[in-house]
Structure 1
Amino acid sequence: MTGGEWLRLGDLAAGPIRRRLELGADAREALSAQLGLEALPVLEADFEIRPWMDGCQIQGHFRGEVAQVCGVSLEVFTQSVVGDIDVRFAPMGSPHLPAEVEAGEIEVSLDTPDPPEALEGDLIDLNALLSEHLALAIDPFPRRPDAVFEWAAEAEVISPFAALSALKPPPE
């Protein structure tokens, strides 16, 4: 997604920062196309960014409306998508960045918090962070709440040779 909302680590020297993002029509249209959505009428987020070790921690909440094609009825419908964001960043070479993260290999454990993400340079694109979290929150198999799948067995196909097989004597 283009046109990022950038945050520089140096901006946190004075303390925590709050940011509100409301994506404009062009940015929502580009993101909608990127994610394979029919439309993205609304996408907004509130962030609180605070210093963490030699990097930063970004916490926030996002809300959006996504238009998708129902997998049952094939009709376009709109549904709400909400989610929380809680990510830590540490610059490359930081002692707080596990060696696995710098090597690009991360072992995931459900019992421990996620390790910080490696940050090359001192800029963080908040729009990209929001886009990633939205992509993870979208239902990959959308189904309109009132959609009902009705299946009926196909009628038995009668072969033109069925009458002839009835004339055949049964095997002994």
Structure 2
Amino acid sequence: MSEAPIWSHRFRMSDLSRGPVVVSLEADETVRAALAKHLGVRAIKSLTAEARLRPWLDGAEMGGRFEAVVEQESGISLEIFDQVVTGPLEVRLVPAGSPNAPDPEVEIELDPEAPDPPEILEGDVIDVAAYVVEHLAVEIDPFPRKPGETFEYKPPQDDDSPFAVLKRLKDDNG
């Protein structure tokens, strides 16, 4: 049995037969708290998305944008700060068994300029919120820095190379 998603907004592919649909989402406080824990950030202060779903081949295409305000801790100063995280929503979906689905037996050549192959849906439902969470997770900086912060490495004053250690031993014993 699969675990229930933290945030879900399900849309049936058959509803696209009437034409494109725009879905606007906004996560409430409870969802944002659960997502923050799930994504390993201090807090998610806001999360909104607008997705446009339209028919594509024998499946669907989702486009749009999301925006979130994520509270993070700087990896340099350990100060807490808010980071605006935005990104596009770009997903193509086809039903299982579709002739347009990628063949699992064929090796896919990775081309960063080419569109991603379509994802295969299990059933007739697109969980728009789950795709928003997936895209948000990719865009969150795993090594956050407060805006304007820079890391300046200062090597230790002592030379700890093996030769320097031997020299100090020789000087101490000599």
Please indicate the TM-score interval, normalised by the length of the shorter structure.
0.7 to 0.9
Counterpart position of 1:159? none
Q: TM-score, structure 2 length as denominator?
A: 0.83
Match of 1:9 in 2: 13
* Residue in structure 2 matched with residue 133 of structure 1 by the alignment: 135
Same amino acid, percent of matched pairs: 42
Rg comparison, structure with higher value = 1
Q: Deviations over 1:27-79 (max 9, x none)?
A: 11111100100000011000100011111000011111011110000111111
The aligned runs of 1:1-172 (5 Å cut-off) are: 1-100=5-104, 106-149=108-151, 152=154, 154=156, 165=171, 168=174
Match of 1:79, SS state, is strand
CA distance in 1, matches of 2:52, 2:173: 83
CA distance in 1, matches of 2:79, 2:173: 50
Give the Cα separation in 2 of the matches to 1:15 and 1:38. 40
**Match of 1:46, SS?**
strand
| Separation in 2, partners of 1:22, 1:70 | 26
Contact residue 89 and residue 135 of structure 2 kept, 8 A: yes
Q: CA deviation at 1:148?
A: 4.2
Q: Which runs of 5+ in 2 are unaligned?
A: 159-167
Native 8 Å contact 2:74 2:144 kept in 1: yes
Aligned length: 162
* Pairwise CA distance, 1:2: 2.2
Cα-Cα RMSD: 2.5
Q: In the TM superposition, what is the alpha-carbon distance from 1:166 to its structure 2 partner?
A: 7.6
Instruction: State the TM-score, normalized to the length of structure 1.
Output: 0.84
